[in-house]
Structures are given as structure tokens and as C-alpha cells.
Structure 1
Amino acid sequence: MKKVVIILLALLAPVLSLAQTSQLNQYKLGSGDLVKINVYGQEDLTLESRLTDIGVINYPYLGEIKLIGMTVGELENYIYAGLKGDYLVEPSVSVSILEYRPFFINGEVEKPGGYAFQPGLTIDKAAALAGGYTERASKTKIFIDREVNGRLVKITADRSQAVLPGDIINIEQSFF
């Protein structure tokens, strides 16, 4: 029985990883993210910026661009379309997130607070970053406050739940 569980977990690990990768591909930029825009062969069009609350950057030739709410792919396409023709024949644009905005963990962990997001983060890993669970931590009463389509939603989570940048994790107290 134990071998079957281990095999199933081994088979599910790539699926869970793909699910988080898919979530990160659809990840919408927000305040606190550090982004880098690079146009191959065009040093003057390379820009690195941490997004503020308003999330607007001033990009050469294109002016102000509001990045908050855009995915990396949408931003690449926007810059490509803006530069193609008038400024460059076939621009090669790449956008990368150098640093994600932090996630926050509250409640029954040793060191509640904000921590740097890392791809592949789960509730258990986030709790480990926060010094581990306290003795009174519930392993089943775990909630995530997450922004979805501009609205804050509360998600009931388990310890293997993927964490995203900007998430607020709440670990409740156990009564036993």
C-alpha cells in the first residue's frame, strides 16, 4: 500500500508542477514585480523596472504603458506591435520577471510576515520559510486570500496547495 502511494505521488508531482507553470504563464503583473524588457540588439530599448502601485512605465518610443494586469506574453506582443514597422523591421522582444512580488503568511507559523515568492512554492514550503508551523497550528484549517480577476477570494487550501505571488496564507489554530 505504501509503495502505491509513493508511486502515485511520484506520478502526480509533474502534473502539479505543470499546473503551477500554467498558472505562472497566466500570471498577471502586479505592484512589487521586478520586470526586465529586452529587445535583442537594441540596448537603448532594454529596461528593468519594479512596478509601483499604479504600474505604469515610460518605455522608449511607446510612452507610458500600464503593466498591471498584463501577462508577460501580452506585454511582449504589445511592445512588438508598437516597435514593428515605425522603429524596427522585426523586433525580438522578451519580457521576464526577475523578482515576483512577495507572498504573506499569517497565523500559526513561527515568523509570520512577507516572503519572496519562488516558483514551485506550496503551503508547506511557505510555512518552512516562515520558521515552520507552531505547536497549535491546524494542518487542515488553511486559507488563501488571492486576487482573481480583480476580486479578492478566499480559498480553502491543503498543505500541498500551490502558492502564487501576492497570496495571503492564513494558518488557523487547532483545538487539539
Structure 2
Amino acid sequence: MPATRLPSIRSQKLSTASRTRTQAEYAIGAGDVLSIKVYDHEELTVKVRVTEGGAIDFPLIGQVYVGGLGISAAAERIEVALADGYIIEPQVTIFIEQFKSKKVVVLGPVHNPGLVELNGPITLLELLSQVGGLKDNAGQTATIKRQGNGTQENISINLDRLIRTGDPQQNIQIQGGDTVSIAEGAVCFITGEVNQPGEYLCARNATVLKILSLAGGFTERALESGMKINRTVNGVKHVVQHVDQDTLVQPDDVIIVPERTISKKEESLCYITGEVNRPGAYPCSRRMSILKLLTRAGGFTEKALESGIEINRQVNGNKQVLQAVNKDTLLLPEDVVVVPASAAKKEAVCYITGQVNRPGAYPCGRNTTVLKMVSLAGSFTGIAAESRIKINRMINGTKQVLEDVDHDTLVRPEDVIVVPESFF
């Protein structure tokens, strides 16, 4: 009597394969160990290893070539052979017990580069985790070199979109034989009178202010108005002379902060007093803003009334008090910036936590950015995941988490800025 075909068995096989992510995703290869069952014929249940030639030995039918086939195709090939005079309408299921055939090479700034043996289907994000993650000097792109039909395909991946958003279009399936190359990130250099001279990641649209912040700011001997950039263009070195903190930097730029060779009496100065951490006189270079002067002065104290900042300015020998100012207001030489203490009314604050040097609560006025908060908190630690900052924000009594946060994102009172630890 012919065996009755049960559709539920086939659907069960598809479900199992889907759960293990092998169906239609994994091509069987040499060294793989397969568990094969034939419905209603337990005597044909076997575990076999695929030979180097891509074949297996199966009861009744002998050698079957399954190398390069997916799970369904291999099962169907065995079913066809069994139906040829052995079993009526056989139903075969295959489960991969051990994955041994697939290897990839991972190159570039990852913690454990080299040859990786795959243990089944794997995505790019899973592979990066398996090799220990990206190093700090990793760039924003990965290239996957894939051989097929005698040609090589180069697949470009945007790592920033992959890691920050989990973009499924970037998180592609890795195949055996792939070579995954991680690009090194662009870097800039800063030397001279900064607290931590050295090499720093230099992302697109990075400014001198950003690199200065990473380098711990100026020393007391720095001549801010004398900054230069050594830049190589088409193999020719150029010196960029008119540099301020808003100047955009390019990969491999060398920012030079010279030592002051003139006294403060001879140099144009601005002054800041009141509720800042380091009140005093500071070089007042071209396009010096209140924000830059605040950064030089170590930011606000806990008692500062940020919304009450004033500028005392001498105009034709007469003192003027400018009150309608903000952090972008430009200063003139000899200006005195006054940061008053807050009154009984509590000044609006934001909070910053995680991988910054001084987590805590800081004044949070209008137009305050994430970068300003990071500056007030003493900049990032060495293990900060700068590209994955989040903001926890209460809106109408409901907590919302803002994911797409960069340094220019404006913060609101009571926001909590979270700087996570880097896993790559």
C-alpha cells in the first residue's frame, strides 16, 4: 500500500529549517555533518559527513552528491533516488549537525583578525562580534570580496549605518570564502600646546574645536590665535594659516598649537568672570565666541545662571552692558563676559551619564548641544561609543529614547544624555 504523503511533515521541515536559518541560506559543503531522516523509515536514519568531493553515502542508494546544494535541494535529490525503485513517495528531512565547510577571512582594525570558521549561517554584524568587534581606529566602510562563477564581486558596506541603526540592507549574509576587509578610519593629528597631543579619529565635518576637545583643550601656554594646519594635497604640503576653532579639518591634517611668545599684555585678550570653573583672561582670537571662551574657562559652575550672561564692553571709552547674548555671540578684544550665580529659582539642567570623565548634572540653556554637554562633562573617556549616544527625554509624562543623536543635537531641560561603552 502506498505511503500517504503528509503535507504537515514538509511544512514541519520548512519550519525547522527556518528556525535554524539553514533552509535556502546555507550551501552544504565538505566536512559538514548531516543528520538525515526518512519519514516512516527509521532504519534509514543516518548521520554522515560530506566528503571533500561533496558526496555522502546513503543506505540503499549509495553515493549522493549534495555539495553546494541547499537543504531542500539535497533532500529532494535523496527523495528522487529513493523513489527510483526503493520507497514510494519518500519524505526526507536533513538537519546539519556540524558546520565545517565554510571559512571567511576578516582583515583590518578588528580585535581578532584572521581566518574564521563559520558555525552555520551568519550575518556581517554577527561576524564582527565573533572577531571581537571593531577597534577605535576602524573606518566607516567594509568591503566584502566574494568569488562566484569565476568573477569577484566587491560589496561595499556602510558600517556607521550598520552599527548605529542595524540597517538590514547593510547586515548582509556572509558566505564561505568571503574576505571581509574593514577600512581604517581617517585620522587627524594635533601637536603643540594641548593637554593630550596625538592622533585622533577625524570624521567628516570635524572641526578644530572637536579635535581640541578630544585632546583635552589648550594648555596655559597656548597661543590660540597662532594655530596652523599642515595639510598635504596631491603630495604637496600646504600650511593653512588662518585657523580658528570652527575651521574644518581633513584626514591626515596636522594641527599645530604654538606656544605663546608674547605676554598677555601684548596679546588681544578677553575676560570671563563669575560662575565658571577657571575665570580669567584668555586669548581673544578672530571669531572668538562666548561658547569658545566658556570652554577655555572650564565651563559653568553648578551655581551659574546660564541665561543671565552679560558682556561688559568698552565703546569709545564708555562702558556698555550687552544682555541679549547667547553662546554664539562673537566677542571683541577686552570684552568681559560675566556669568552670574543663579537666584533662588533653580536653573534648568540636563544630565549626562556613561563614558564621560565627569558625569552629572550641568546647566542646560537654550541652544545647548550634546557637544557642549560633553565638554562640560570633561569630554569622552577612551572607551566611549561616540556614535551611539542616546537621549532619554520625558514628553508629556512619557519617557522617549532618541536614537539618532549626534554632537549638534540640541538638548532640553531634564534630558539625560547616555554615552555607552564601545563594544567594538
- Pick the structure with more helix per residue: 1
1:3 alignment partner in structure 2: none
Q: Distance in 1 between the 2:150 and 2:51 partners?
A: 17
Percent of aligned positions that are identical? 27
Residues 164 and 150 of structure 1, relative CA distance in 2, 3 Å threshold: farther
2:280 alignment partner in structure 1: none
- The question of whether the paired residues in 2 share the 8 Å contact of 1:117 and 1:164 is answered with no
Larger radius of gyration, structure 1 or 2?
A: 2
Shift of 1:114: 0.7
Q: Which aligned runs of 4 or more in structure 1 are off by greater than 4 angstroms?
A: 149-152
1:12 alignment partner in structure 2: none
1:139 alignment partner in structure 2: 140
Q: Distance in 2 between the 1:116 and 1:53 partners?
A: 17
User: 1:145-160 maps to which residues of 2 (within 5 A)?
Assistant: 145-149=145-149, 151-159=151-159, 160=170
- The question of whether the paired residues in 2 share the 8 Å contact of 1:103 and 1:114 is answered with yes
Shift of 1:88: 1.5
Once the two structures are superposed, residues 68-94 of structure 1 have per-residue CA deviations (whole angstroms, 9 ceiling, x without a partner) of 122222211111111125221232211
Q: Distance in 1 between the 2:44 and 2:50 partners?
A: 17
Q: Distance in 2 between the 1:45 and 1:67 partners?
A: 17
User: 1:75-154 maps to which residues of 2 (within 5 A)?
Assistant: 75-84=74-83, 86-100=85-99, 101-112=102-113, 113-119=115-121, 121-140=122-141, 142-149=142-149, 151-154=151-154
RMSD across aligned positions (CA): 2.7
2:180 alignment partner in structure 1: 169
- The question of whether the paired residues in 2 share the 8 Å contact of 1:110 and 1:132 is answered with yes
Shift of 1:35: 2.2
Q: Distance in 2 between the 1:51 and 1:172 partners?
A: 36
Once the two structures are superposed, residues 2-27 of structure 1 have per-residue CA deviations (whole angstroms, 9 ceiling, x without a partner) of xxxxxxxxxxxxxxxx9xx6x95154
The amino acid of 1:131's aligned partner reads: G
- The question of whether the paired residues in 2 share the 8 Å contact of 1:123 and 1:158 is answered with no
Residues 68 and 118 of structure 1, relative CA distance in 2, 3 Å threshold: closer
Q: Distance in 2 between the 1:76 and 1:60 partners?
A: 14
| 2:30 match: secondary structure | coil
Shift of 1:130: 0.8
Once the two structures are superposed, residues 88-118 of structure 1 have per-residue CA deviations (whole angstroms, 9 ceiling, x without a partner) of 1232211223344344422211012314345
- The question of whether the paired residues in 2 share the 8 Å contact of 1:38 and 1:93 is answered with yes
Shift of 1:144: 1.4
Residues 87 and 118 of structure 1, relative CA distance in 2, 3 Å threshold: closer
Q: Distance in 1 between the 2:63 and 2:108 partners?
A: 40
Q: Distance in 1 between the 2:150 and 2:58 partners?
A: 25
Q: Distance in 1 between the 2:23 and 2:103 partners?
A: 14
- The question of whether the paired residues in 2 share the 8 Å contact of 1:117 and 1:165 is answered with no
Q: Distance in 2 between the 1:150 and 1:50 partners?
A: 27
Q: Distance in 1 between the 2:27 and 2:85 partners?
A: 28
Residues 43 and 104 of structure 1, relative CA distance in 2, 3 Å threshold: farther
Shift of 1:37: 1.6
Once the two structures are superposed, residues 116-164 of structure 1 have per-residue CA deviations (whole angstroms, 9 ceiling, x without a partner) of 3454x43232112111111221221x11133434654332223332233
Residues 49 and 151 of structure 1, relative CA distance in 2, 3 Å threshold: farther
Q: Greater relative contact order: 1 or 2 (C-alpha under 8 angstroms, separation 6 or more)?
A: 1
Residues 24 and 72 of structure 1, relative CA distance in 2, 3 Å threshold: closer
Q: Distance in 2 between the 1:72 and 1:138 partners?
A: 37
Residues 64 and 93 of structure 1, relative CA distance in 2, 3 Å threshold: same
Q: Structure 1, unaligned stretches of length 5 or more?
A: 1-17
- The question of whether the paired residues in 2 share the 8 Å contact of 1:35 and 1:48 is answered with yes
User: 1:22-61 maps to which residues of 2 (within 5 A)?
Assistant: 25=24, 27-61=26-60
Q: Distance in 1 between the 2:129 and 2:25 partners?
A: 26
Residues 144 and 32 of structure 1, relative CA distance in 2, 3 Å threshold: farther
Q: Structure 2, unaligned stretches of length 5 or more?
A: 1-17, 160-169, 188-424
Q: Distance in 2 between the 1:72 and 1:92 partners?
A: 13
1:8 alignment partner in structure 2: none
